[in-house]
Structure 1
Amino acid sequence: MLRFLIAVIRRDILLAARRRGDWLTAQFFFVMVVSLFPLGIGPEPSMLRSIGPGVVWVAALLATLLSLGRLYAEDHRDGTLEQLMLTPYPHALLGLGKAIAHWIINGIPLLLIAPVLGIQFNLPADALAILVLSLAIGTPILSLLGSIGAALTLGLRGGGALVTLLILPLYVPALIFGAGAVEGAMSGTGSEAHLSLLGAFLLMSLLIAPWVSALALRVSVE
């Protein structure tokens, strides 16, 4: 089962490396959305510092949503998904592998870009560190929950809009805890509580999301 999981992750990463434009679109979107806020609001340091964590987190959330449409679509179109589901391994492993690959392809670049973009909002060094840590815990949640929406809307017309309607409410706790951790670090109240809740949300998503994605895949493929 472990070899099957690694094979799914490796395959998606290799395909993404051959189609760089697909995943680079989400990264450019993330950079553009975050960079536009300082230009529109103005150079007031205190204002930028107060909205910075929320802006970065919202942009990361939207960039993840933008990339979810390709999670299963290409494999479904060429018949690969049906072949993968015929293997003797649990379908939850397929959903987990797809979500991990999605996070590696889309989530890790966000972690690398976020500190540079956070400087635009005059965030101090300790707040930047908490921002990266909160994104490191929170972006896997976005990929895991997003895999459920991508599986439920597989093959449907207008699936991108449906994914947004289905999954966006589930993203709200991650957004609140992630941005709250950075704000707590800046205000001096501490970020441990928010990070702990974010970690618990990640653990719950890791245990539940692959199985729900597997059920949704069965329904969509059949």
Structure 2
Amino acid sequence: MIALLLRDLRLAVRAGGGFGLGLAFFLIVVVLVPFGVGPETALLSGIAPGILWVAALLAALLSLDRIFALDYEDGSLALLSTAPLPLEGVGLIKALAHWITTGLPLTIAAPALGFLLSLAQEAYTYLLLSLLIGTPALSMIGTFGAALTVGLRRGGLLLSLLVLPLYIPTLIFGAEAVRRGADGLDPTGALLLLTALTAGSFAILPFATAAVLRINLR
């Protein structure tokens, strides 16, 4: 499993779909928002939690189609299906590699970008915490979506259409946790629901991913 994880991390960086692309998109979205809505600090502070979470979500989408595509094209995915490691484990490792190269860098960079949107000082802790809890769910859900579209030509648009509705609960609770923290309210409920979503996705979706891969590899 560790060897597969290290291999996927190297491929993600070499293929140009790693953290650099996601971070660049994240930065562009956050920088463009003040130009679109105006420089008013009060307005930016109010919409900052939602903007940061939407930007992180869209940045995570950029590299989803690469999760299984390279392995499918060179035949590695077929070999992995016959390896001692079950496909459930393969899907889990793929999601973990995607989070390390995409979700984790976005989480680390978010506070600096929150400063550009005049995010309330009280919200920074909850921004980091919500992204740290919620972005793994984005990667696991995206891995399931990538398995559904593996082998399809130009499946990137279809993948986005399939995955985006599944991302909505994570987006809602993640942004709500940051918003409540910024307003001085207790964000515990939103964080607990976000944790439940992430735990549920990692408990269920590896099996769904493996089932879909077995169908597509027949």
Normalising by the residue count of structure 2, what TM-score does the alignment of the two structures yield?
0.96
- Residues 14-163 of structure 1: matches in 2 within 5 Å? 14-19=10-15, 21-23=16-18, 24-163=20-159
How far, CA to CA, are the matches of 2:209 and 2:164 in structure 1?
A: 16
How far, CA to CA, are the matches of 2:161 and 2:122 in structure 1?
A: 35
How far, CA to CA, are the matches of 2:119 and 2:83 in structure 1?
A: 49
Aligned length: 217
How far, CA to CA, are the matches of 1:220 and 1:32 in structure 2?
A: 36
Corresponding residue number in structure 2 for 1:201: 197
How far, CA to CA, are the matches of 2:66 and 2:154 in structure 1?
A: 13
How far, CA to CA, are the matches of 1:11 and 1:109 in structure 2?
A: 19
Deviation of 1:31 (Å): 1.0
Deviation of 1:157 (Å): 2.3
Segments of 5+ residues of structure 1 without an aligned counterpart are none
Corresponding residue number in structure 2 for 1:11: 7
Q: Which runs of 4+ in 1 moved over 4 A?
A: none
How far, CA to CA, are the matches of 2:38 and 2:200 in structure 1?
A: 40
Task: Give the secondary-structure state (helix, strand or coil) at the position aligned to 1:11.
Answer: helix
CA-based RMSD of the aligned residues comes to 1.1
Deviation of 1:187 (Å): 1.5
How far, CA to CA, are the matches of 1:55 and 1:145 in structure 2?
A: 21
Deviation of 1:153 (Å): 0.3
How far, CA to CA, are the matches of 1:33 and 1:130 in structure 2?
A: 21
Deviation string 1:4-53 (CA, Å, 9 cap, x unpaired) is: x222211111223434x322222211110111001211111110011101
Normalising by the residue count of structure 1, what TM-score does the alignment of the two structures yield?
0.94
**Paired AA for residue 175 in structure 1:** L
